[in-house]
Every structure is written in structure tokens, then in C-alpha cells.
Amino acid sequence: MESILKASNLTKSYFRKKGLNNLDLEIPLGRIVGLLGPNGSGKTTFIKIAAGILRHTSGEIKIDGQDSGVYTKSVVAYLPDVNFLYKWMKIKHAVKFYKDMFKDFDENKCKELLVFMDLDENDKVTTLSKGMMEKLNLSLTLARKAKLYILDEPLGGVDPTAREKILNAIIDNCREDSSMIVTTHLVNDIERLFDDVAFISEGKIVLQGNAEELRIEKGKSIDELYREVFK
């Protein structure tokens, strides 16, 4: 199976502390992968390196067979867990901003997603609740025709009713020729999304596999497994 991301002995050092410690991870095409771990486990460091925002100290990471650079940034759609839009914008300005920034941005698809998410193009970004803001940022990210989508805590500020909507949008928009990495600590709400899971602790992968096979083998849900690994 073709892989979209391959990390080998990936290490990131901050002074004396290691953010990543010889991490190995391979992500095949056409899969939604849950990257699961508590705060400080190395999740954010890893996805920032994959998104081309941070440089690693040693080891290697290949995305679509290439080292991090202009090309890999062009095929990765990254949804950070912080807001990155300007305060003066209305939703329609944010759409135009993305259209100007990314060649693979599909404006029509974005507009469909905004309707699905019950968002009005004329609303100002500053008037949106945290949950609405997450729906907007997700719509913008999913409207790109990327090869790898990285969603960092996509459900962080969303109420339970909106969660279903967001999960459905993610499932509906995952294509066979792309993959998705989703980080979350709300494992129970989101585990039905995952084809595969990778548990990260102290900068390395401590358990990984096909989500359904792990459930059968361990006789536990992914959420129960998560609680066991990180208790």
C-alpha cells in the first residue's frame, strides 16, 4: 500500500528535552489516522513538523516521497488548534483569502460546506462562537484538494450537537487518494472516524494499528484502550 507520510527515527530536541524521540510512523493513502496522546506527548510537535512549520533535529520525514519543503507544504492542508484569520474579515473574505493562498482550494466546495455547517458568508469572524469558528476553519481546510489533511483537535470547542456535523463533514470529505491525521483528546466522541490509530507518549509511538483489529484483539474500545495506555 502506498504511503503518504513516512517518519523514521524522527527526533526533535528542545535544549535538554526531547519533543520527539526516534519516532517511527507510516501513514498509507486513503486512511483516517487518529494520533492520540495526552498533552506534552509530542502530538503537536509531530504535526507541526509534518505541516512544515517546525524543523526536526534528526531522522527523516517524507511526505508523498519528498523531504519537507515547498512541494510538501502544497499537498498538506493543516488545521491548527488556534485561530489564524484576521479580525476585520467576514466569512466571505476568509474564503477569498484561502482562494488566493492555495492553488488547490475549491471555492464551490467551500460554499457547500458553509451551507452544511449553517454559516452565513456575511457574518464577521469576530462575532462567531468558538464552535462556529471551528466549523469555518474546518470548511476552509477541507475545501482544499490536498493529499494529507492534518486536523489538530477539530472538536475542541464544539458542543455535542455540532460534533456530529463536523464528524460527518470529515467522513464525507475523505477521499481514497488522500489521508487524514486527526489529533484529539475526545477519543470517545471521535473514534468511529478512525481507520488506524497511533498512541504517542514521550515523543514516540507506543502502540499503533488498525482500529477495528485493535478493538477485537484487546476487547476494548479505542477510548478504553487510550485510558489504559495513559493511566
Lowest mean pLDDT of 10-14, 84-88, 102-106, 204-208, name the range.
Answer: 84-88
Judge whether 135 and 119 are in contact, CB under 8 Å: yes
148 versus 40: the higher-pLDDT residue is: 148
Domains and CATH numbers, the chain: 3-229 (3.40.50.300)
pTM of the model: 0.93
Average confidence score pLDDT of the chain? 91
pLDDT grade, residue 171 (50/70/90)? confident
pLDDT-based confidence at residue 168 (cuts at 50, 70, 90): confident
Q: Say if residue 163's pLDDT is above 80.
A: yes
CB 23 within 8 A of CB 170: no
What pLDDT does residue 81 have?
A: 75
Mapped onto helix, strand or coil, the DSSP state of residue 204 is strand
> What percent of the chain shows pLDDT beyond 90?
71
How would residue 189 be classed by pLDDT, with cut points 50, 70 and 90? confident
pLDDT greater than 90 at residue 145: yes
| Residue 14: band (very low, low, confident or very high) from pLDDT cuts 50, 70, 90 | confident
Q: What is the pLDDT of residue 155?
A: 82
- Residue 21's H or E segment, with its range, is strand 17-28
Q: Kindly list the distances between the CA atom of residue 144 and the CA atoms of 119, 125, 147, 156, in Å, as whole numbers in the listed order.
A: 18, 20, 9, 22
